[in-house]
Amino acid sequence: MAEPEFTSASFNQFLGEHKLMASRCRSCGALWLPPRPLCPACHGEEMEWVEMGSSGTLLAFTTVHIAPTAMIEAGYGKDNPYCTGIVRLAEGPAISAQILGVDARQPAQIAVGTPLEVAFVERGEGDKRRTYLAFATPGAL
Ligand SMILES: [Zn+2]
């Protein structure tokens, strides 16, 4: 069976199955997240999908008070800020996502290096319903 294309559409489809999938270069083994169809490291064109584990650590973060539309619809905004961050997975690649289980009103208490677990958040109604990648502090969900 042919691999799904290495696109954000495929990546999002996997998220809907609650799988965090990266592309791995068959030539040099580099992992890319979000997936890429070509390897930026060695220019290899042969990729394969690999599922990432559930653990990572917080590399950097920011709190968001001016929310984009999808997040406003999810109840976030000026009076209910949220945290978004870059998470380094145990496998090596890093990806940005919402960080759950931290208090975005108290950014000074959010620590780089915090261990996190993959979480999948369902948002939207009807046709707009989709799964978003997030990370949560252990025990937060
Ligand atoms: Zn490569």
What is the whole-number distance in angstroms between the Cα of residue 4 and the centre of ligand 1?
Answer: 18
| Vertex 29: Cα angle to 55 and 117 (nearest 5) | 5
What is the whole-number distance in angstroms between the Cα of residue 106 and the centre of ligand 1?
Answer: 41
Q: What is the mean pLDDT of residues 91-111?
A: 96
DSSP for 73-132?
HTT-BTTB-EEEEEEEETTS-EEEEEEESS-TT-GGG--TT-EEEEEEEEESSGGG-EEE
What is the whole-number distance in angstroms between the Cα of residue 11 and the centre of ligand 1?
Answer: 19
What is the whole-number distance in angstroms between the Cα of residue 2 and the centre of ligand 1?
Answer: 20
Q: What local confidence, expressed as pLDDT, does residue 1 receive?
A: 57
Going by C-alpha positions, the residue among 114, 89, 3, 91 that lies closest to residue 100 is 114
Question: Model confidence at 141, in pLDDT bands (50, 70, 90)?
Answer: confident
What is the whole-number distance in angstroms between the Cα of residue 43 and the centre of ligand 1?
Answer: 6
**Could you give the 3-state DSSP secondary structure of residue 57?**
strand
What is the whole-number distance in angstroms between the Cα of residue 105 and the centre of ligand 1?
Answer: 41
pTM: 0.92
What lies within 8 Å, CB to CB, of 74 at 6+ separation is 123
The string of pLDDT tens digits covering residues 40-88 is: 999 999 999 999 999 999 999 999 999 998 899 899 999 999 999 999 9
What is the whole-number distance in angstroms between the Cα of residue 93 and the centre of ligand 1?
Answer: 14
